[in-house]
Amino acid sequence: MRIKTILFDLDGVLYIGDNPVPGAVEVIEELRTSGFGLRFITNTSTKLPQEIIRKLTNFGFNVSSEELFTPLRSARDYLISVSLSRMYPVINSEILPYFKEFIIDQENPEFILIGDIGDKWNYQLMNKIFNFTMNGAKLIALHKGKFYNSGTGNVLDIGAFISGIEYSANVRAAVFGKPDLNFFNSAVATTKCDKGEILMVGDDLDNDIAGAQKSGYKTVLTKTGKFNVNYVQLSDIKPDYLIESVRDLPKLIKEIK
Ligand SMILES: [Mg+2]
């Protein structure tokens, strides 16, 4: 197998919360210099793409906007394609400008747009979303993550709340971002590589590893970020390779070449 392009998850792999993973900046530079194609695919829904680039740049990473893929664009393209216009946003206010063509409707929305809102979840909000959904509004989820590492430990992600509403209202949310195969494909389509030449590096078994394996890519799980040994042992999802940190990636790639 010859790896030509490497897909990186961001949070938990290159940085954790507000701190870069030690050695990650150098690894990205080294791989770029060695000629690998690099793409960065993140489910981050708290920041506009240009703000993610700014955060990476501040850490010292050299990443261009053409290499970055976030669920914001795929969700917006979908909403436009199905002509939904009145939304109830349950998203971080920072990304609201990205959805400015949609009308905010607090009473009778056509869809509820759900992204990360940290610890702002509560019974009243869930019940409101539940009732909108029972009245026919569509659930649009920027992702459906189970948990993430906030920098001080693992915390519940929006998937827990979305699943609760799906369960009670007997509906399914439209989910964008990883592990949606279209999302992976939108990044890989820009590389001209065959699936056997792609390696995905992530800290999330369900979103990064399972999604990439279904797409036919090789996978590396890092023990940084949300890695939890019990969760990994109990899961049916088995990464092709396991490394302590992204710092060990160049060595691994030399071994599997
Ligand atoms: Mg991650």
Domain boundary among 150, 175, 200: 175
Q: Provide the domain count of the chain.
A: 2
223 Cα to the center of ligand 1, angstroms? 11
Q: Burial, 5: exposed, middle or buried (Cβ in 10 Å; 0-12, 13-18, 19+)?
A: buried
9 Cα to the center of ligand 1, angstroms? 5
Q: Residues 115, 56: one domain?
A: no
104 Cα to the center of ligand 1, angstroms? 30
pLDDT of residue 1: 62
**Ion ligand 1, residue ranges at CB < 5 A:** 9, 11-12, 203-204
- Could you report the average pLDDT of every consecutive run of 10 residues in the chain (257 residues)? 93 94 98 97 96 98 97 95 97 97 98 97 98 98 94 93 98 96 95 96 97 97 96 97 98 90
221 Cα to the center of ligand 1, angstroms? 10
Q: Residues 108, 64: one domain?
A: no
Domain boundary among 144, 175, 206: 175
10 Cα to the center of ligand 1, angstroms? 6
Q: Residues 169, 188: one domain?
A: no
Q: What angle do CA 256, 69, 195 make, to 5 degrees?
A: 35
Can you give the CATH number for the domain in which 20 is found? 3.40.50.1000
Q: Which domain holds residue 99?
A: 75-175
Q: How many Å apart are CA 225 and CA 17, to the nearest integer?
A: 9
pTM of this structure: 0.92
